[in-house]
């Protein structure tokens, strides 16, 4: 090689080296992100892994899988910086001002990432999961959520810690961040690097999904291996997806035949089956209670795990336990989901929890078949009462469009005893309920009031004067929240007893969902157990019902108890007039939905996955089982048909 050739080769190599140095900030921040992800993963495992039976040996695959997940996420979140570095001309890239912007911007990016990871810890503490559909839904209502976070968590301390760590991190890596700004590079070389980078991003997007490396049967282990921001954006992308594209399906006509056989176990005559609908007509029952008033209380996070009557070591619900033994107590009851809207849709519309979003929040949810509309057809005054602002989670729009009057905190006629970001105190809500019932009673019409409480929710703040019953006024925690919910419900029933309409009223108390999600299973059933009580001392004799009961069964069970004729496409069954064996429960958690029948749990997940296990409630244990085609077909039939009826406007 002559001297000119050697010189050209040297210049070319120097130019390539300079081009790569141009992108050194991307590599530096990516490595920093991987280190933070490793630390966070270890912290999450130490804090929550052992309780979910994720043993230390599992870290041997969790950490490498997490490293891959974090590396792929870093491609996405650092792509804008790479693009900027690739298109910026040398005359701007080499200035002192740009070096300052690069260093400051990197510190700001690190600050944001650190704060997100801190939020992940507290989210994992509540849900045993990375960011999921719950986080997406919460961000739709920033006022309540931001207020809750500010009240419950040490936000200022976290911000300060993140700022200090980000500043220190940026200072430690300042040389690789800014070193490349002092050399020139060729535009063609930078373009080649960008093309290669975006080709890798495209390949990763096509071949890798958020939980692709989650191969364990332990849900929490899979969550530990996942990347938090990736999980969030996946949830955002799939917050309302086409059932047929993602979940196992069957022929719609075969589904109808399966459901007709399942629902025929109870009373009712199918009226539109030939049209692909599940409407059933129910005749009046002579032994029914008649047109009694109904007050249904959906109690926030009022899980069975706090009830001594349900076998808990805690004794935080003494008033509920007392009233349950004086009424119709359903001892084997489950919620449909882990969020309020899931409980509301099940109670009000008797529909399985369609993946992935509740019908309360979906478009096209007006004029569907609800308990309120059925009772309004019998001359009832119907209303939905909420202690917060009813725009949250689309509750006002849903209930107003389905036969209910709306009464939320804006209707309070006097200063509340106490209020926080989520709503007025349950006592104030129950005072509103008493006033509403008095007005309805004076009209001579029976009434149905569906009451949704808020106090048993973070930040768990309450009025003073309740310390003697174990309630701390400020940041009392879960125990104070449950005790206060129980106290307020007892207050309401005692006050209601002094009103003329009390003797002609059925009171229903049920949780909207359990307190929190925990456990290694995709559907941790223990966390779904909830109390359920029908109470009317003049009309209902004390009785315990041990057969399986779920929230979607409340509406048909109530109508059967009243004995009123009606027609509805409800999926639930009258628990008092259906055989105890073969009863069905429905569940949802993030993207998964499941059906439980005779201890056989069938779970449907994304990518058309189906898994089955035997559930032993006595030991809260699961045993994988061989394929049960009948249970699989039944689960698909319920969920697919519910989705199709709702989306096609046939759930009327």
Compute φ and ψ for 301, nearest 5 degrees.
55, 35
Q: Coil, helix or strand for 148?
A: helix
Place of tokens 């089982």: 625
* Mean per-residue pLDDT, 48-74: 93
Neighbours of 61 (CB within 10 A): 14
For residue range 248-274, list pLDDT tens digits in order: 999 999 999 999 999 998 889 999 999
What is the spatial distance between Cα 199 and Cα 126, in angstroms, rounded to a whole number?
38
Q: Where are the alpha helices (DSSP H) in 153-291?
A: 155-172, 174-178, 187-207, 219-225, 228-237, 243-246, 252-263
Strand 532-535 with 505-511, pairing? antiparallel
What pLDDT, on a 0 to 100 scale, did the predictor assign at position 189? 87
Query: How many other β-carbons are positioned within 10 Å of the β-carbon of residue 441?
Result: 19
Query: What's the rounded mean pLDDT across residues 339-349?
Result: 96
Tally Cβ neighbours within 10 Å of residue 49: 24
Given a cut of 50, is residue 197 above it in pLDDT?
yes
CA distance 529 to 413: 36
| pLDDT value of position 15 | 46
The pLDDT assigned to 6 comes to 41
CA distances in angstroms from 290 to 134, 348, 509, 539, listed in the order given: 40, 20, 20, 10
Cis peptide before 575 (omega within 30 of 0): no
Question: For residue 7, what are the contacts with CB-CB under 8 A and spacing of at least 6?
Answer: none
Reading across the β-sheet that carries 621-624, which strands appear in turn? 584-589, 592-597, 600-605, 609-616, 621-624
CA–CA separation, 635 and 641 (whole Å): 10
11: confidence class by pLDDT, cuts 50, 70, 90: very low
| Residue 468 CB neighbours (<10 A) | 6
Please list, in sequence order, all residues whose beta carbon lies within 8 angstroms of the beta carbon of residue 135, skipping any fewer than 6 positions away: 123, 232, 235
Confidence (pLDDT) at 170: 94
Q: Say what the pLDDT of residue 14 is.
A: 43
pLDDT given for residue 153 in this prediction: 78
Q: How far apart are CA 514 and CA 143, in angstroms?
A: 24
Structure confidence by residue, pLDDT tens digits, 355-383: 988 999 888 999 999 999 999 999 999 99
Structure confidence at residue 233 (pLDDT):
83
Tokens of 295: 């007050």
How do residues 20-36 score in pLDDT, each as one tens digit?
Answer: 888 999 999 999 999 99
pLDDT of amino acid 519: 75
What are the structural domain ranges in the chain? Answer: 3-237, 246-647
The model's confidence at residue 44, banded by pLDDT at 50, 70 and 90, is very high
Lowest mean pLDDT among 129-138, 422-431, 507-516: 129-138
And the tokens for 572?
């639930």
Cβ neighbours of residue 282 under 8 Å, at least 6 residues apart?
267, 268, 269, 556, 559, 560, 565, 566, 567
Q: What is the pLDDT of residue 236?
A: 73
Give backbone dihedrals phi and psi of 190, rounded to 5 degrees, phi first.
-65, -35
Is residue 551 a contact partner of residue 347, using CB atoms and an 8 Å limit?
yes
Q: How confident is the model at residue 557 (pLDDT cuts 50, 70, 90)?
A: very high
Give the mean model confidence (pLDDT) for residues 325-344.
96
Q: What is the mean pLDDT of the chain?
A: 90
Q: Reduce the DSSP state of residue 531 to 3 states and report it.
A: coil
Instruction: Give the integer Cα–Cα distance in Å for 564 and 284.
Output: 5
Give dist(CA 265, CA 316) in Å, integer: 38
Tell whether the model's pLDDT for residue 144 goes beyond 70. Answer: no
DSSP 281-350: EE---TTS--S-EEEEEEETT--GGG-GGGT-S----HHHHHHHTTSEEESSEE-S-SSHHHHHHHHHH-
With CA atoms as reference, report the closest residue to 215 among 28, 69, 375.
69
pLDDT, position 209: 79
Architecture per CATH, 246-647: 3-Layer(aba) Sandwich (3.40)
| pLDDT, tens only, 598-613 | 899 999 998 899 999 9
Integer Cα distance of 498 and 181 in angstroms: 79
**pLDDT higher at 4 or 612:** 612
Which residue in 597, 607, 606 sits closest to 632, CA to CA? Answer: 597
**pLDDT tens-digit profile of 159-186?**
999 999 999 999 999 998 887 777 778 8
Question: At residue 133, does pLDDT exceed 50?
Answer: yes
Give every CB contact of residue 381 below 8 A, 6+ residues apart in sequence. Answer: 405, 440, 443, 445, 446, 447, 448
For the segment 568-593, the average pLDDT, to the nearest whole number, is 93
């Amino acid at each position: 090689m002559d001297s000119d050739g050697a010189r050209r080769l040297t210049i070319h190599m120097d130019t390539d080296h300079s081009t790569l140095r141009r992108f050194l900030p991307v590599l530096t921040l990516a490595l920093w992100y991987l280190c933070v992800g490793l630390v966070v993963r270890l912290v999450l495992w130490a804090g929550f892994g052992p309780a979910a039976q994720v043993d230390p040996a599992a870290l041997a695959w969790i950490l490498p899988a997490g490293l891959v997940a974090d590396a792929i996420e870093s491609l996405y979140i650092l792509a804008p910086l790479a693009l900027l570095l690739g298109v910026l001309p040398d005359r701007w890239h080499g200035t002192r001002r740009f070096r300052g912007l690069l260093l400051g911007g990197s510190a700001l990016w690190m600050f944001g990432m650190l704060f997100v990871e801190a939020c992940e810890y507290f989210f994992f503490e509540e849900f045993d999961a990375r960011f999921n559909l719950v986080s997406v839904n919460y961000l739709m209502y920033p006022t309540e959520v931001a207020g809750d976070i500010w009240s419950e968590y040490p936000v200022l301390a976290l911000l300060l810690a993140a700022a200090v760590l980000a500043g220190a991190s940026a200072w430690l890596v300042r040389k690789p961040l800014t070193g490349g700004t002092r050399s020139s590079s060729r535009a063609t070389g930078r373009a080649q690097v960008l093309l290669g980078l975006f080709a890798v991003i495209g390949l990763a997007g096509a071949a890798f999904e958020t939980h692709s490396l989650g191969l364990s049967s332990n849900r929490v282990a899979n969550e530990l291996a996942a990347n938090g921001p990736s999980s969030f954006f996946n949830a955002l992308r799939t917050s309302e997806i086409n059932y047929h594209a993602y979940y196992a399906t069957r022929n719609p006509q075969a589904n109808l035949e399966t459901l007709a056989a399942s629902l025929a176990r109870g009373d009712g005559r199918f009226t539109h089956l030939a049209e692909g609908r599940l409407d059933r007509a129910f005749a009046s029952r002579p032994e029914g209670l008649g047109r009694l008033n109904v007050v249904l209380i959906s109690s926030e996070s009022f899980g069975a795990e706090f009830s001594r009557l349900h076998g808990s070591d805690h004794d935080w619900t003494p008033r509920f336990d007392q009233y349950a033994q004086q009424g119709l107590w359903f001892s084997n009851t489950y919620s449909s989901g882990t969020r309020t809207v899931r409980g509301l849709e099940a109670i009000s519309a008797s529909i399985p929890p369609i993946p992935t979003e509740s019908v309360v929040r979906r478009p096209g949810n007006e004029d569907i078949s609800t308990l309120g509309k059925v009772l309004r057809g019998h001359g009832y005054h119907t209303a939905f009462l909420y202690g917060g602002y009813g725009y949250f989670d689309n509750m006002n729009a849903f209930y107003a469009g389905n036969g209910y009057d709306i009464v939320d905190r804006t209707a309070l006629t006097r200063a509340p005893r106490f209020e926080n970001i989520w709503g007025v105190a349950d006592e104030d809500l129950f005072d509103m309920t008493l006033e509403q019932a008095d007005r309805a009673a004076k009209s001579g019409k029976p009434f149905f009031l569906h009451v949704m409480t808020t106090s048993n929710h973070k930040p768990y703040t309450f009025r003073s004067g309740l310390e003697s019953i174990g309630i701390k006024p400020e940041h009392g925690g879960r125990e104070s929240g449950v005790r206060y919910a129980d106290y307020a419900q007892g207050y309401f029933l005692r006050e209601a007893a002094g009103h003329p309409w009390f003797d002609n009223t059925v009171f229903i108390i049920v949780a909207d969902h359990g307190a929190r999600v925990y456990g290694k299973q995709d559907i941790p059933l223990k966390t779904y157990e909830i109390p359920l009580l029908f109470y009317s001392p003049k009309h209902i004799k004390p009785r315990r019902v041990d057969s399986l009961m779920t929230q979607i069964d409340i509406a048909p069970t109530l109508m059967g108890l009243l004995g009123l004729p009606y027609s509805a496409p409800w999926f639930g069954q009258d628990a008092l007039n259906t055989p105890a064996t073969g009863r069905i429960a429905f569940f949802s958690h993030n993207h998964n939905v499941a059906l439980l029948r005779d201890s056989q749990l069938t779970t449907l997940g994304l990518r058309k996955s189906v898994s089955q296990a035997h559930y032993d409630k006595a030991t809260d244990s699961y045993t994988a089982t061989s394929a049960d085609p009948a249970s699989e077909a039944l689960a698909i039939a319920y969920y697919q048909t519910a989705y199709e009826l709702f989306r096609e406007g046939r759930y009327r």
